[in-house]
Amino acid sequence: MGNSSEAFAGGVAVITGAAAGIGEGLTRRASELGMKVVIADISAEGAETLAAELRGKGREAMAVRVDVSRPEELERLAEQVHASWGDVRLLVNNAGIETIGMSWEIPAARWEQTLNINIHGVVHGVRAFAPRMLASGKPACIANLASTGSFGIMPTQTAYIMTKHAIQSFTECLYLEMQMTGKPVQVSTIVPGMVKTRIFEASAGTGEPTGADRHRAVMRELMANYGMDLAAAAEVIFDKLATGAFWIDTQPDMTRDMIDGRIAFLTERAAPRLAPMARSLLGLDG
């Protein structure tokens, strides 16, 4: 594929969790590139607000309320999109939440919500759209949101970290499965580093155990001070997707550091230990 506009202009993009955060950034970039965008989000109001803004700029946008934790809603989404706009050029399984707290203190409902959104939302997004992509025989792309956390560890962010490890391994296996079909369906893992979003806002922590607010506040400050601009990150992601790459990272040095640390851990087979920055974040150095 050539540059991002040549690769994606005129195609249909379906992005979950598209009304905020990285999903919103990707939606805006897809629209700028001339794609028809399907803004799939749990917030019907947020999705429609963004869709109305894009339509006001003369672009094509469809807002659909979708709870990705429910497989039947993803199947309904696929049916609606194909009935309205036909084949999908790009599916980004982006929807996800951060959960903070000691593993045994996180309520069962919050655990289930995290696993169902972050893991099952991706799996069933693929199940809903991949058969249609394969049947069309046209070039298409499935991109799943992993994280630099897919290669690391962090206590009190265990729920989120384990889901991202799962998505990374799922996407690697999915890539090989698509290779076996011989069809032109690209599979990519999107590995954001520190990107400025609202994922650590206090309002996103409903159902977390007491004490999670402090960790969220520290992470919000780090993100505000050191995070990559969302629009810049979205541009990098689309430029790399356009090359057909499997690895789509926003900050390659950050990805490399995390992977190098993981390799060292697996090679040494020592007990897990915290990096100095993580110890400081958790207040363990005082």
Torsion sign across C-alpha atoms 185, 27, 94, 127? negative
State yes or no: is 226 an active-site residue: no
Phi, psi of 119 (to 5 degrees): -105, -60
DSSP 8-state symbol, 228: B
Cα Rg of the chain (Å, integer): 19
| Residue 206 φ/ψ region, left for φ over 0, alpha for ψ in the -120 to 50 degree band, beta for the rest | beta
Locate 227 and state its tokens: 């995070």
Distance CA(165)–CA(8), nearest Å, equals: 29
CA of 135: how far to CAs of 72, 126, 129, 131, 140, in Å? 20, 14, 10, 6, 11
| Contact in structure between 199 and 98 (CB atoms under 8 Å) | yes
Identified catalytic residue from 151, 160, 170, 200: 160
Catalytic residues: 160
